[in-house]
Amino acid sequence: MEYQNSLVFAKQLDQEDKLAHLRSLFHIPKDKNGNEWMYFTGNSLGLQPKATKEYINQELEDWANLGVEGHFDAKNPWLNYHEYLTEKMAKIVGAKPIEVVVMNTLTTNLHLLMVSFYRPTKTKYKIVIESDAFPSDRYAVQSQLKFHGYSDDDLIEWKPRKGEQLLHIEDLETIVANQGDEIALLLIGGVNYYTGQFLDLKRIGEIGHSKNCIVGIDLAHGAGNVQPNLHESNVDFAAWCTYKYLNSGPGSLAGLFVHEKHSKDKNLPRFAGWWNHNKETRFNMRQPFDVMVGAEGWQLSNPPILSMAAIKASLDLFDEVGMDALSEKSEKLTGYFEFLINEIGSDDIKIITPSNPKERGCQLSIQVKKADKSLHKKLTENNIITDWREPDVIRCAPVPMYTSYQDVYRMVTVLQTLL
């Protein structure tokens, strides 16, 4: 598509946008004077769907009126509430329902998955991560290594080439070819939080499995942003949060994926609780542990209903729209954003996110010359909410659910003025 650098063109794109109505279904934050923010941080915390309060209030009402009987008699009985989320979440990440469950939080889920899938031996014990992995992933794998008696020296980093920001899949291939006999696990961020690079998960799976390594994916910045097609990718496991692109509220529950090929393996070591015990005999309290098949077999505790109600509100909206339509708009919206930034022609900034739409989601990472954080502060003072990531990047996410083309145009107009 040929973009044009004008407000008239941005308005035209909004008029033609079949998803434009979605914006009205979200609360757009405002300043003290009642002016709407231009919100570009859905990659940190998604905006609240207006329906969320209604969904949570329903559960509060049922709790007030029914007490413990809400587990059976609530409008949405609580006993198996997590099951209301499974099929819709599976569609979002390209998985089968048996492969997905909503539970816990992201890093907790990664640790529970590593209990099962990081099984080091005397000769095969190292872990591969990307060199600029999100800190919690680094801390998690470092602690797993130490727990098993290894050290940080046994952590292998997949790095960008000298003078570059992005990763090359061929370099991971080389790492695994040369050291694969010592590597037990690859734990890779599917969409890098800093650069916004969307990696080829299927190829990563093939590379890891070529040397009998387990492959896990952190989809914190991918779920609801890109279609990772987890089942087809054949990776062993994945985990993601829901409060970014999935708009479920601060600190809300996370999602977990375990590939179907592992679903019936009851011999996989795992931590246990009563909620991954066979639901048919769960309440017969004196039965020996009988683990459930599929991703549900990694649950420990009964579901926190109020958090899940917020997730349900968001997933119902995603299910109505579909990831295909969201991805189509995301590509167009982010492409327009990229075009406008490049039109500025400033040497003080550059986009480090891949220009190929298939290698990114809706995030553009703008690198600022001399790591000048004042530019980010000035954007905030102009009601433009982005986030700063050390050492020198402003992350901007035009989210297709609620960001308009006019938002993008006005944001770049202010950016150009500040530069």
Dihedral, CA atoms, 302, 307, 313, 317, nearest 10 degrees?
Answer: -90
Q: What is the CA radius of gyration of the chain?
A: 22
How far apart are alpha carbons 209 and 25 in whole angstroms? Answer: 43
pLDDT in tens, 378-403: 999 999 999 999 999 999 999 999 99
Backbone torsions φ then ψ of 338, nearest 5 degrees? -60, -45
Q: Distance between CA 237 and CA 215 in Å, rounded?
A: 7
Scan for tokens 């650069």, then name that residue: 195
**Does residue 329 have a pLDDT over 90?**
yes
Say which residue, 284 or 256, is predicted with more confidence: 256
Grade residue 368 by pLDDT with cuts at 50, 70 and 90. Answer: very high
| pLDDT digits 0-9 by tens, 102-138 | 999 999 999 999 999 999 999 999 999 999 999 999 9
* Helices and strands (DSSP H and E) totals, the chain: 13, 13
Q: What is the pLDDT of residue 326?
A: 98
Residue 117: exposure state from Cβ atoms within 10 A (0-12, 13-18, ≥19)? buried
Instruction: Decide if 338 contacts 355 (C-beta within 8 A).
Output: yes
Provide the edge-to-edge strand list for the sheet that holds 387-389: 349-351, 364-368, 393-396, 387-389
Q: What is the pLDDT of residue 285?
A: 82
Provide the CATH number for the domain formed by 81-319 in this structure: 3.40.640.10
The residues of the chain that CATH labels 3.40.640.10 are 81-319
CA-CA distance, 239 to 105, in Å (whole number)? 9
Contact 414, 67 (CB under 8 A): no
**Segment among 186-190, 288-292, 353-357 with least mean pLDDT:** 288-292
pLDDT-derived band at 371 (thresholds 50, 70, 90) equals confident
Could you tell me if 218 and 185 are in contact, meaning their C-beta atoms sit under 8 angstroms apart? Answer: no
Q: Which of 148, 220, 224 is nearest to 184 (CA)?
A: 148
**Averaged pLDDT for residues 211-235:** 98
pTM above 0.85, yes or no: yes
Task: Identify the CATH homologous superfamily for domain 7-49+322-418.
Answer: Aspartate Aminotransferase, domain 1 (3.90.1150.10)
CATH 3.90.1150.10 positions along the chain are 7-49+322-418
